């Protein structure tokens, strides 16, 4: 393995992929099989100005022992400190960012009880949802990257000594991640600029649907969500910092319409799920839901995947990948979704990303409600009893004025669209937020005199309409 390239790879992932900022806490998940790379990332993190570099070592063999011998109820019963170990850093005034380094054996859990593994993982995801909200909604910078592992390398390059397979996989990762150019930072700047150009062109076309066909029998029509927007290349965190969520990444992606997906898809590559391979799979959609499915290997595992929760039988993402993708051009089957999904256009099951919807703002419901109620203490002293929302990049400022003074609150948001000032009756807005259970809600509005639609960040379980009050000079 080229040591120079290894450090270039680590430096790029940390300083550009994650884009660690001065004084941030930097959480690193790293396999125990690759301590050298973990150490290189810690070094790069501190060079970037990180306050703390926290390493969480992970072990495939240990995970298999847990799933094989421990009771399901014990595996699913997470302790509060496990969640707090992430939230304490996320809630630190200096904030945090995170890197997940993958080196997984694609069949690390082969032969174990797939249903048990699925139920445990679902329980853990639910428990860790408050932390996952930080990454899913780009409230912090995050990045997923990969390094070789002996079992993975042997799967990709069978029939040769493991040491040789490891060297070949390292060289391949350096190539497709543009490290072997000698200047990955410049190469990725050009790549990100090209991805943004494709993203902007797709948004300019304002497409209604995507029709995908293939010689293997795929014939799928994916309607795009109302007010959907294409994203890709790079993302922007709540603090305004650009980052690259997946290394490598070749895709631009969009949110499908929940009920306008119809047709059949035949997978061209195996799907790695819970440490096992689903091969020769297909799924058939009708009105957004999977109505038929099958697989040549691990069909029961595919059924488990599609029944995980209410969104598992729908797709939350459709992604376009150019034929010029280095992963596609390599001709190698990686047996790793991070790489294989960047070889061809694809779909992804489950909930979509809130950042794929334009024209609205996604907010933490509780934080928004608390801010409105604090500000409205002043509004209630006024005859008007209204609060004003001023939407700008990354935040909304909520204000109220009365004869005895003024009050102001600032709430961070995920937002698309133009700046807008709009006012509402404080009580009416609070009443709507109080009856909802969602942690996050979306607000859609076009002008300061048109109604505001309050809806869930995904799905269509409810819609609430709130009429604004007119703003006049001096409001």
Summarize pLDDT for 298-322 with one digit per residue, the tens. 999 899 889 877 778 999 899 999 9
* Residues 435-461, mean pLDDT to the nearest whole number: 80
| Structure token digits, residue 176 | 């497709």
What are the tens digits of pLDDT across the range 62-75?
999 999 999 999 99
Burial class of residue 350, CB neighbours in 10 A (0-12, 13-18, 19+):
middle
- Nearest partner of 370 among 406, 404, 410, 425, judged by Cα: 410
| Dist CA 310 CA 328 (whole Å) | 33
Is the predicted pLDDT of residue 104 greater than 80, yes or no?
no
Tell me the pLDDT of the chain averaged across its residues: 88
Instruction: Give tens-digit pLDDT for 126-155.
Output: 899 889 888 877 889 999 999 999 999 999
Q: What is the pLDDT of residues 336-390, one digit of tens each?
A: 888 999 999 999 987 666 666 664 456 778 888 888 888 887 665 555 678 899 8
Selected residue with higher pLDDT from 135 and 100: 100
Q: Which residues, at least 6 apart from 406, have a Cβ–Cβ distance to it below 8 Å?
A: 378, 399, 400
- Percent of the chain topping pLDDT 70: 92
Delineate the domains of the chain, giving CATH numbers in brackets.
Answer: 3-258+318-346 (3.40.1830.10), 361-466 (3.10.150.10)
What percent of the chain lies above the pLDDT cut of 90? Answer: 55
For residues 440 and 16, the model is more confident at 16
The set of residues, in sequence order, having a beta carbon less than 8 Å from that of 253 and lying 6+ positions away, is 230, 231, 232, 317, 318, 319, 320, 353, 356
pLDDT tens readout for residues 7-29: 999 999 999 999 999 999 999 99
* pLDDT score of 474 more than 50: no
- Give the chain's radius of gyration (CA, Å): 24
pLDDT at 107: 82
What whole-number distance in Å separates Cα of residue 102 and Cα of residue 198?
Answer: 28
Q: Which two tokens stand for residue 308?
A: 């995980």
Segment 216-243, tens digit of pLDDT: 999 999 999 877 889 887 888 888 899 9
Q: Can you spell out the DSSP letters for 35-63?
A: HHHHHHHHHHHHHTT-SEEEEEEE-HHHH
Q: What's residue 473's pLDDT?
A: 47
Distance between CA 39 and CA 28 in Å, rounded? 10
Does 415 score more than 90 pLDDT?
no
**Is the Cα torsion angle 295, 300, 304, 306 positive or negative in sign?**
positive
What's the burial of 385, exposed, middle or buried (CB within 10 Å: 0-12/13-18/19+)?
Answer: middle
Helix (H) or strand (E) holding 414: strand 414-415
Tell me which DSSP letter residue 357 carries.
B
CA dihedral 136, 137, 142, 147 (to 10 degrees): 20
Question: What is the band of 162 on the pLDDT scale with cuts at 50, 70, 90?
Answer: very high
Q: Using CA atoms, how far apart are residues 430 and 69, in angstroms rounded to an integer?
A: 49
Give tens-digit pLDDT for 260-291. Answer: 999 999 998 888 887 788 999 999 999 999 99
Residue 359, pLDDT score: 47
């Amino acid at each position: 393995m080229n040591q120079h390239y290894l450090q270039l790879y680590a430096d790029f992932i940390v300083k550009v992929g994650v884009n660690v900022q001065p004084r941030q806490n930097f959480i690193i998940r790293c396999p125990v099989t690759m301590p050298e790379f973990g150490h290189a990332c810690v070094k790069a993190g501190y060079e970037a100005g990180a306050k703390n570099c926290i390493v969480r070592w992970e072990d495939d063999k240990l995970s298999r022992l847990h799933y094989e011998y421990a009771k399901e109820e014990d595996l699913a019963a997470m302790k509060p400190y496990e969640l707090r170990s992430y939230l304490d850093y996320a809630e630190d005034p200096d904030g945090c960012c995170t890197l997940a380094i993958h080196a997984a054996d694609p069949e690390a859990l082969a032969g174990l009880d797939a249903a048990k593994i699925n139920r445990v993982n679902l329980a853990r995801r639910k428990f860790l949802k408050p932390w996952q909200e930080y990454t899913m909604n780009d409230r912090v910078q995050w990045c997923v990257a990969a390094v070789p592992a002996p079992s993975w390398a042997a799967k990709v390059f069978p029939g040769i000594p493991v040491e040789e397979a490891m060297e070949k996989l390292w060289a391949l990762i350096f190539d497709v991640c543009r490290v072997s150019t000698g200047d990955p930072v410049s190469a990725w700047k050009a790549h990100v600029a090209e991805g943004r150009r494709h993203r902007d062109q797709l948004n300019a076309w304002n497409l209604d649907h995507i029709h995908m066909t293939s010689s293997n029998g795929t014939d799928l029509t994916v309607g795009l969500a109302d007010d959907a927007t294409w994203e890709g290349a790079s993302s922007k965190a709540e603090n305004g910092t650009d980052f690259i969520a997946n290394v490598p990444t070749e895709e631009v992606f969009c949110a499908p319409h929940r009920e306008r997906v119809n047709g059949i898809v035949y997978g061209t590559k195996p799907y790695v799920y819970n440490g096992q391979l689903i091969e020769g799979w297909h799924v058939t959609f009708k009105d957004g839901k999977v109505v038929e499915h099958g697989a040549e290997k691990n069909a029961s595992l595919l059924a488990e995947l599609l029944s995980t929760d209410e969104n598992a039988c729908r797709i939350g993402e459709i992604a376009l990948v150019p034929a010029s993708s280095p992963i596609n051009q390599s001709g190698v089957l990686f047996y790793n979704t991070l790489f294989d999904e960047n070889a061809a256009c694809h779909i992804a099951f489950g909930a979509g990303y809130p950042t794929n919807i334009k024209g609205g703002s996604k907010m933490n419901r509780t934080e928004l409600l608390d801010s409105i109620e604090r500000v409205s203490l002043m509004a209630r002293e006024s005859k008007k009893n209204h609060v004003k929302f001023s939407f700008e990049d990354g935040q909304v400022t909520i204000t109220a004025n009365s004869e005895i003074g003024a009050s102001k609150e600032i709430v961070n948001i995920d937002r698309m669209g133009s700046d807008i000032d709009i006012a509402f009756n404080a009580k009416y807005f609070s009443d709507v937020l109080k009856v909802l259970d969602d942690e996050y809600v979306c607000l859609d509005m076009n002008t300061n005199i048109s109604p505001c639609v309050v809806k869930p960040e995904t799905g269509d379980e409810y819609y609430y309409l709130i009429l604004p009050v007119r703003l006049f000079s001096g409001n």
